[in-house]
Every structure is written in C-alpha cells, then in structure tokens.
Amino acid sequence: MKKLSIFVSGNGTNLQRIAEYFLEDWAVKIENVVCNNPNAYAIERSKKLDIPVRMITKQDFNSEAFVKELQDLGIDLIVLAGFLWKLPENLVKAFPKKIVNIHPALLPKYGGKGFYGEHVHEAVVAAKEAQSGITIHYVNELYDSGEIILQARVSLDENETPDSLAAKIHQLEQAYFPVAIEQVLLSQN
Ligand code: GRF
C-alpha cells in the first residue's frame, strides 16, 4: 500500500481528481491533505472525500516535528497540488524524489517566484507564446526546478486570453496528473 499526502492551498480540483482516480485502487491511499489556507475550498472537498485534513501554520510547517509526523504516517509520496508555500529544506531532504509538483506552464519558462495561478497564464499570453502546457516535476530546494517527470502541451489560439488558456491547462492537469503520480509510485522500489 502506497500512502500519499496531498498539499493544497486553494480550490483543490487536482486533489479531487487524484482522489477519484485512486478511489478503487486498493494499493494507493490518500493518507491526509495538508492545507495552509483556512479559506481553501479544498478543505470542503477533503471532507466530502473523507480524507483527514491537517491544517498547518508557518511555524508547524518549518518544524522538525512536522517532518516526523509525515514519516510516522509512512508517507511514500508528497503531492503538491496547488500548494503555494516554498518547502523547507529539512522536509525536502527527508523525502528525496518523494515530492512532486504540478506547474501550469512549460518549465523552465514561466517558473520561479511569482509565477503561480493566473500570473503564469497572463505572462504566457502577453508574450504571444505559440504553446503552453503543464510540467509535473520532482521538488528540490529551489522553486520549480526539480527533475521533470512529464510535460504536456497545448497550442494558443490567436485570440487566446489568460482565462481561456487556464481552461485548457486545467484539462491537461485533470488528464495527466493522476497518471504521472501512478507512474512515480510504480517506479519507487
Ligand atoms: C493548478 O493550476 C496547478 O497547476 C497550480 O495551482 C493550481 C491548483 O488548482 N500549481 P487546484 O487547487 O487543484 O484547483
């Protein structure tokens, strides 16, 4: 049995999709959802999905005790699904190649500090890029720069807006994130 911990800050559409994808897979369990935002709709989704939510403060998050908590739960993979805090070094070091993130652009472009949510799509549209997409990658100590697991692309139309691009990216996320997670779990020994 592989245990996932899913970290969220917002709406939680990726969380929902991942949970539904693994619902009937007895080999994968979402052990908990870790959330840093008391107003996140992801909390409601977790309740409906019957997944325990662990609310965190900055202080908890940066503590050695939090790392220990995840280790004691036997977490095999941490999934960042729209989680907006940078991970502390002790957490990253404790879970080598066991943390994955989804980024709504084709890294290394449009990544790093400040590139999150609609800011990413605004920048891509303003630059008149021909393509954008998603990047699923391992997490290291830096923002958006760990080894890439999977990228998927979409073309931008002539009259593309940040909103219309966001909708296309959303489709890609829903299609690819659970599959990429499954591949990572299978590649673990
Ligand atoms: C997604 O676009 C993801 O790529 C980014 O944050 C967003 C999260 O959306 N990292 P949701 O909370 O899963 O709906």
Rounded to whole angstroms, the Cα distance separating 63 from 167 reads 37
Rounded to whole angstroms, the Cα distance separating 85 from 143 reads 10
What pLDDT shows up at residue 187? Answer: 95
Query: Which residue is it, tokens 């592989």?
Result: 2
Other Cβ atoms within 10 Å of 95 Cβ, number:
20
What pLDDT shows up at residue 171? Answer: 97
How many angstroms is it from 169 CA to the middle of ligand 1?
10
What pLDDT shows up at residue 189? Answer: 72
- Ligand 1 within 6 A of CB of 11: yes
What pLDDT shows up at residue 137? Answer: 96
- Ligand 1 within 6 A of CB of 111: no
What pLDDT shows up at residue 114? Answer: 86
Q: What is the pLDDT along the chain (189 residues), one digit of tens a residue?
A: 999 999 999 999 999 999 999 998 889 999 999 999 999 999 999 999 999 999 999 999 999 999 999 999 999 999 999 999 999 999 999 999 999 999 999 999 999 888 988 999 999 999 999 999 999 999 987 767 799 999 999 999 999 999 999 999 999 999 999 999 999 999 997
pLDDT in tens, 83-93: 999 999 999 99
Counting from 1 in the atom list of ligand 1, the atom nearest the Cα of 40 is: 12
What pLDDT shows up at residue 188? Answer: 93
What pLDDT shows up at residue 15? Answer: 98
pLDDT in tens, 118-152: 999 999 999 999 999 999 999 987 767 799 999 99
Domains and CATH numbers, the chain: 1-95 (3.40.50.170)
Residues serving a catalytic function are 103
What pLDDT shows up at residue 7? Answer: 98
- Ligand 1 within 6 A of CB of 133: no
Reported pTM: 0.95
Residue 27's Cα: distance from chain center in Å?
Answer: 21
Please report the beta strands in 70-172, taking only residues with DSSP state E, as ranges in sequence order. 77-80, 99-103, 131-138, 148-155
Other Cβ atoms within 10 Å of 113 Cβ, number:
9
